[in-house]
Amino acid sequence: MARQFQFDLQATDGKARTGVISTTRGDIRTPAFMPVGTAATVKAMLPENVRATGADILLGNTYHLMLRPTAERIDNLGGLHNFMNWERPILTDSGGFQVMSLTSLRKLTEKGVTFKSHVDGSQHHLTPERSMEIQRLLGADIVMCFDECTPFPAEEDVALESMRLSMRWAQRSRDAFGDRPGHALFGIQQGSVFREQREESAENLKSIGFDGYAVGGLAVGEGQEAMFEVLDYAPDMLPADKPRYLMGVGKPDDIVGAVARGIDMMDCVLPSRSGRTGQVFTRRGALNIKNARHQDDPRPIDEHCTCPACRNYSRAYLHHVFRTGEIISSMLLTWHNLHYYQELMTRMRDAISEGRFDQFQRDFHTERAKGDLPPL
């Protein structure tokens, strides 16, 4: 019999938690950071190299994959894992967020969303039922409920209406998902920045019953302070014995702050996208490799980092290949950034296990405040 989806919480330190999610395709150590493989690839990286950075799970985007190459085609080719050569767990989003952010002509009704593709203008429908079908065809290990990502800012009554629609869609997602041993369905809490709405949403989701719970509707432009205010209470409303996933977050300090508030899983395009624009994350904050100060610098980005970009190449070389638009620039900088993110997760998991997460947070902020190395 296939191994069931299971979450073992192994240690807590304050609100921070560490544990393991077991799936049929392998374990996910939490807190976990999921690199984003939008179009069945983490851009500029081979899957085995993504794995080498320490990633246990990837995120795939339903919206992009349903348009190109289509879920049906991926299913006929053996599913997304086979298609993209990633054997480990995959989480797919529901498509709802991208429909809202990438399409202009769309119509939202109780039934679902009708929209025009940003690729070729063709018309498509997404409903809770269709989203579940697409995510099943893709073969996702963790499936997300179809919901409406409430825009920010939203008036209280608008947010309430939106949240309640998402809760009706959550029930329809649950019904359409059915019973699929070894696969998990996550509910998504909405309610914007309104505490009572977050509470109502959480109660609603708990009564439906999910394998994990996401905090949705954040990282949509509200800023870190407002996000942390919501995270001070919202995760506590969700079941402690199930994984909690904060969608679309974030910068390294967002991630540390979210883990401190009880979040177990996160995803963000930032480390991979930044790798293509020259922004590099280190323990001493972010730097931009395109700046002229690096052009004669023989030092690595970070002498303590064990990624190939830092082991084998100087800042001067990385500056040069970025400036000349060489493809290796995206490869090396993305690798470094993903490595940095996964190393950050490892350090947090260790600190929580050893009961020193407060000290970890202090050291993290002290080190960042130093800024990049002074020029030679």
- DSSP H or E segment with residue 45: none
- Residues 192-211 touching Zn ion, rule: CB under 5 A, are none
> Minimum Å distance from CB 335 to Zn ion?
7
190 labeled part of a ligand binding site = yes
Among 141, 211, 254, 267, the one annotated catalytic: 267
Residue 286 found at the interface with Zn ion (CB under 5 A): no
CA distances from 311 to 54, 192, 303, 332 (A): 17, 44, 8, 11
One character per residue 311-340, x = contact with Zn ion (rule: CB under 5 A):
-------------------------x----
End-to-end distance of the chain based on CA atoms, in angstroms?
Answer: 60
Contact region with Zn ion (CB under 5 A), list: 35-43, 101-109, 232-240, 307-315: 307-315
268 labeled part of a ligand binding site = no
> Minimum Å distance from CB 93 to Zn ion?
28
In the list 307, 331, 344, 348, the residue contacting Zn ion (rule: CB under 5 A) is 307
How many residues are present in the chain?
A: 376
d(CA 89, CA 35): 12
Residue 305 found at the interface with Zn ion (CB under 5 A): yes
**Identity of the residue, 336 or 349, whose beta carbon is nearer to Zn ion in the bound complex:** 336
- DSSP H or E segment with residue 201: helix 195-208
- Note whether 267 and 36 are within 8 A (CB): yes
Residue 242 found at the interface with Zn ion (CB under 5 A): no
**Identity of the residue, 102 or 305, whose beta carbon is nearer to Zn ion in the bound complex:** 305
Residue 45 found at the interface with Zn ion (CB under 5 A): no
8 catalytic, yes or no?
Answer: no
**Identity of the residue, 69 or 308, whose beta carbon is nearer to Zn ion in the bound complex:** 308
Token pair for residue 330?
A: 């995206």
Q: Is 7 helix (H, G, I), strand (E, B) or coil?
A: strand
Closest CA to 218 of 241, 201, 206, 204: 201
Closest CA to 5 of 32, 25, 19, 30: 25
In the list 310, 331, 332, 351, the residue contacting Zn ion (rule: CB under 5 A) is 310
Task: Give the start-end residues of each E strand in 100-158.
Answer: 106-108, 113-116, 123-126, 142-144
Residue 280 found at the interface with Zn ion (CB under 5 A): no
145 labeled part of a ligand binding site = no
Among 56, 93, 141, 302, the one annotated catalytic: 93
264 catalytic, yes or no?
Answer: no
54 labeled part of a ligand binding site = no
> Minimum Å distance from CB 287 to Zn ion?
12
Count of residues engaged in binding Zn ion, rule: CB under 5 A: 5
Closest CA to 260 of 186, 165, 359, 335: 359
User: Which residues contribute to the site for Zn ion (CB under 5 A)?
Assistant: 305, 307, 309-310, 336
The catalytic residues are 93, 267
